[in-house]
Structure 1
Amino acid sequence: MGHVSVVEHRAAVEELLGAGTAEPVTLDRHAAGRRIAADLVAADDLPRFDASAMDGYAVCPGMPDQLSYPVVGDVPAGSAPGFALRPGEAARIMTGARVPEGAVAVVPVERTDASPTGPAPSRVTLGVEPAPGQHVRRRGEDVTAGTVIATAGSTVTPALIALGRSAGCTTVEVHVPTRVAVIATGAELAPPDADPGAGGIHESNSDMVAALAEAAGCEVRRVEVCSDEPDELRALLDVLDTDPEVDLVVTTGGVSAGAYEVVRQVCEPLASFAFVHLAMQPGGPQGLGRYGSTPVICLPGTPVGAFVAFHVLVRPALDRRHGEPGARPGHAAYVGRTRRTRTGRVQFVTSVLHDDGTVSSPDARHLTALAAANCLVEVPEGVDQLIEGDVVVVHPV
């Protein structure tokens, strides 16, 4: 079994998964939350024409200081005026309606002697002298056709749907979620509704890893629990390899050096697979390769090891496939009791990042500490303890 660094194995996972794919989807509510794969470009000017920003009267001043105008037309929203204003004329106009040719400004109805409802009057008197361009939204003042309105890597939001649709966009190119199957292995695993018996344990890895995959933007297509019988696992992998709806298989358990390590028994003989032990704790035993044409990532069987390995090794590759920028590690001051660590390997300590910017280790063990944690503290290989005041690298989870 080889020994590689965390950085090397993370790169191997990224190479195995490769780049993701993209697809055009309708720019509507169903696209919300998707990550954009190609720049979204405005197809039309916004506004599409000179438009009124108010309910009021479009005017074309004639004589100096003119305040009284004959009303020669009525322009509701959605209609195109079939007339032009000549000097000294006005037209009633609604918000969003196309401004008639010749109009210099729009005066809000509340600044006139006209009623805001009912038929248009034959004449209107203004309470203010119109200023050129007042309350007129010029064509393209928000967006011009051909302008990039959302860059690749950004997210489709409700506001972007409004902008894109208003600018004439009907589709958007987005990253396709990776479709994942999860297999938890182990003869000792009992389903939630079964009695584990004297030597069994309650199975938890399958849905934990499935939830981690969904949080990473994947679509989980199958969640399976498999015994330690090689033929059973081999048959399951055969089925998944021929399933066009599965892009990636993630297994847990069966990767160490024991006698009943079913994942290694089935996959290690394949030339496309490699099993290693990382200089990392927890989650040292790892494997990866292709079963047939399907990428398979093999995580350890301990829940904490599988959780940490997914975040440290698998999540970055999935983020890359999905066009996600990924969570960047930060720094915080360690507080609390001194914690001993082992040298010779990178350790990821389940920890709590507090609102004041400090980080501490829960006073608990294993899964209890994991459930309380909101981050992982990365402890370098050469460090043998965490002391209050140490500045540490923090990875959010």
Structure 2
Amino acid sequence: MSAAGGHRSVAEHRAAIADLLGAGATERVALDRHAAGRRLAADLVAADDLPRFDNSAMDGYAVCPGSPDQRAYPVVGDVPAGSAPRFALAPGEAARVMTGARVPEGTVAVVPVERTDASPTGPAPERVTIDADPTPGQHVRPRGEDVTAGSVLAARGSATTPALIALGRSAGCTVVEVQVATRVAVVATGAELAPPDADPGAGGIHESNSDMIAALAQAAGCDVRRAEVCSDEPPELRALLHDLDRDPDIDLVVTTGGVSAGAYEVVRQVCEPLPTFDFVHLAMQPGGPQGLGRYGSTPVICLPGTPVGAFVAFEVLVRPGLDRRHGAPPARPGQAAYRGKSRRTRAGRVQFVTSVLHDDGTVSAPDARHLTALAAANCLIEVPEGVDQLIDGDVVTVHLL
């Protein structure tokens, strides 16, 4: 690790977090509703053809014309969905078939029931008359039309969506190899933090970071096992980190607060003396003070204590490393035209402005401050270090939230 108090770019710190997180584990799970949202750790390959056999796309009659102008056919069988016909059609014969039913050998086409003189319900008739010449292959779904066995249904890194579950199961897949969700503990620090159901008193504030970061981690595919609030007393934090390091169900600890250079910075007081930790101030606003390292064997990422700073730092610095660990493709920022009044920014640091991307493709900054602006935002505008002002019409880089 570099010396404590060193300087590091946003890109360097993002890479350092990704290295700390490393690669995630994988597991094989049933391809069912419980796999929804998981990222594939290996290609999902079809085990069977889809459809598995030539089948009817309509309720109607499978026909094998004996002559080009044949209209009337003897009905030699009845095939409901789920059954396999034990007969073949000879030239000049027909069989009633339902949608999805396997068509008999010899089938040339399927004629919808509404194009015949037969009733759509009741027993199959002895004879049926069709009203037009059928086109070979009409309303017949051939075996493997959608998928052939051995073909890749979804590539590694794809999300297991409800539609992919349907496709995979229909193609004979029963299990899927997926990334294991990172098990996270969140620790919000600060003597001023009051729990939701308590009166903060004259000098306290309502605590919000623990559940905000927990929700961000869950949105990034993590399994949040614990969300704790800790005072500014070093012994209390040290005991909590020791307990989390011994917890076999915790892969990562994310702290908020206590990372600046002032007094009572409890995370820094406890962790900075350890050779496995690094604390830096990034040329970034908000969220400049940062730390990371290992407490025992457990990775710990230390975010600032302001809610907006912690939110932005998680999205900009932590989320990319979690996406890589979970096998998700990297998010790609877009571009949009800035609309609104000129806005001064601080040159010399990368700024991330809580903003709103509109349906017309333009982006603006809410006319509000701090958390109110964050709550209204659906994206972040990235303002490079050398820019000191946003002007109406500027093309800016946009990160969706």
TM-score tier by shorter-chain length is: over 0.9
Cα offsets for 1:4-39 (capped at 9, x unmatched) = 111110100000001222222222223233322221
2:114 alignment partner in structure 1: 110
2-structure distance, mates of 1:173, 1:324 = 14
User: In the alignment, which of 312, 327, 330 is matched to residue 308 of structure 1?
Assistant: 312
1-structure distance, mates of 2:173, 2:394 = 51
1-structure distance, mates of 2:99, 2:207 = 62
1:177 alignment partner in structure 2: 181
1:352 alignment partner in structure 2: 356
2-structure distance, mates of 1:55, 1:379 = 61
User: In the alignment, which of 208, 231, 234 is matched to residue 230 of structure 1?
Assistant: 234
Tell me if 1:158 matches 2:162.
yes
DSSP-derived class of the 2:118 partner = coil
2:88 alignment partner in structure 1: 84
Tell me the amino acid that sits aligned with residue 132 of structure 2.
Answer: V
User: In the alignment, which of 243, 264, 276 is matched to residue 272 of structure 1?
Assistant: 276
Q: Is the 8 A contact 2:27 2:180 kept in 1?
A: yes
Q: Which runs of 4+ in 1 moved over 3 A?
A: none
1-structure distance, mates of 2:56, 2:367 = 64
Q: CA deviation at 1:359?
A: 2.7
1:294 alignment partner in structure 2: 298
TM-score, length basis structure 1: 0.94
The structure-2 alpha-carbon separation of the partners of 1:45 and 1:285, relative to structure 1 and needing over 3 Å to count, comes to: same
Tell me if 1:41 matches 2:45.
yes
1-structure distance, mates of 2:113, 2:86 = 22
1:328 alignment partner in structure 2: 332
Q: CA deviation at 1:296?
A: 0.3
Q: CA deviation at 1:98?
A: 1.5
Tell me if 1:259 matches 2:269.
no
Tell me the amino acid that sits aligned with residue 364 of structure 2.
Answer: S
The structure-2 alpha-carbon separation of the partners of 1:348 and 1:121, relative to structure 1 and needing over 3 Å to count, comes to: closer
User: In the alignment, which of 126, 133, 143 is matched to residue 129 of structure 1?
Assistant: 133
Provide the aligned C-alpha RMSD in A: 1.8
Which 10-residue stretch deviates more, 93-102 or 381-390?
381-390
2-structure distance, mates of 1:290, 1:381 = 30
2-structure distance, mates of 1:241, 1:387 = 48
The structure-2 alpha-carbon separation of the partners of 1:130 and 1:343, relative to structure 1 and needing over 3 Å to count, comes to: closer
Q: CA deviation at 1:269?
A: 1.8
2-structure distance, mates of 1:47, 1:371 = 48
1-structure distance, mates of 2:15, 2:137 = 58
1:186 alignment partner in structure 2: 190
User: In the alignment, which of 368, 381, 384 is matched to residue 380 of structure 1?
Assistant: 384
1:363 alignment partner in structure 2: 367
DSSP-derived class of the 2:158 partner = coil
The structure-2 alpha-carbon separation of the partners of 1:125 and 1:287, relative to structure 1 and needing over 3 Å to count, comes to: same
The structure-2 alpha-carbon separation of the partners of 1:66 and 1:296, relative to structure 1 and needing over 3 Å to count, comes to: same
User: In the alignment, which of 135, 139, 153 is matched to residue 143 of structure 2?
Assistant: 139
2:26 alignment partner in structure 1: 22
1-structure distance, mates of 2:76, 2:325 = 60
Cα offsets for 1:200-232 (capped at 9, x unmatched) = 222221111112112222121111000111111
DSSP-derived class of the 1:317 partner = helix
Which 10-residue stretch deviates more, 216-225 or 104-113?
104-113
Instruction: Flag structure 1 segments of 5+ consecutive residues without an equivalent.
Output: none
User: In the alignment, which of 247, 252, 274 is matched to residue 248 of structure 1?
Assistant: 252
User: In the alignment, which of 225, 232, 256 is matched to residue 221 of structure 1?
Assistant: 225
Tell me the amino acid that sits aligned with residue 116 of structure 2.
Answer: T
Instruction: Flag structure 2 segments of 5+ consecutive residues without an equivalent.
Output: none
The structure-2 alpha-carbon separation of the partners of 1:209 and 1:75, relative to structure 1 and needing over 3 Å to count, comes to: same
1:60 alignment partner in structure 2: 64
1-structure distance, mates of 2:119, 2:9 = 77
DSSP-derived class of the 2:380 partner = strand
**Aligned pairs, number:** 397
The structure-2 alpha-carbon separation of the partners of 1:318 and 1:114, relative to structure 1 and needing over 3 Å to count, comes to: same
Q: Is the 8 A contact 2:68 2:133 kept in 1?
A: no
TM-score, length basis structure 2: 0.93
2-structure distance, mates of 1:109, 1:312 = 59
2-structure distance, mates of 1:221, 1:381 = 37
Q: CA deviation at 1:238?
A: 1.3
Tell me the amino acid that sits aligned with residue 40 of structure 2.
Answer: I
Name the % identity: 84
The structure-2 alpha-carbon separation of the partners of 1:84 and 1:331, relative to structure 1 and needing over 3 Å to count, comes to: closer
DSSP-derived class of the 1:310 partner = helix
User: In the alignment, which of 2, 6, 11 is matched to residue 7 of structure 1?
Assistant: 11
DSSP-derived class of the 1:332 partner = strand
Which 10-residue stretch deviates more, 156-165 or 292-301?
156-165
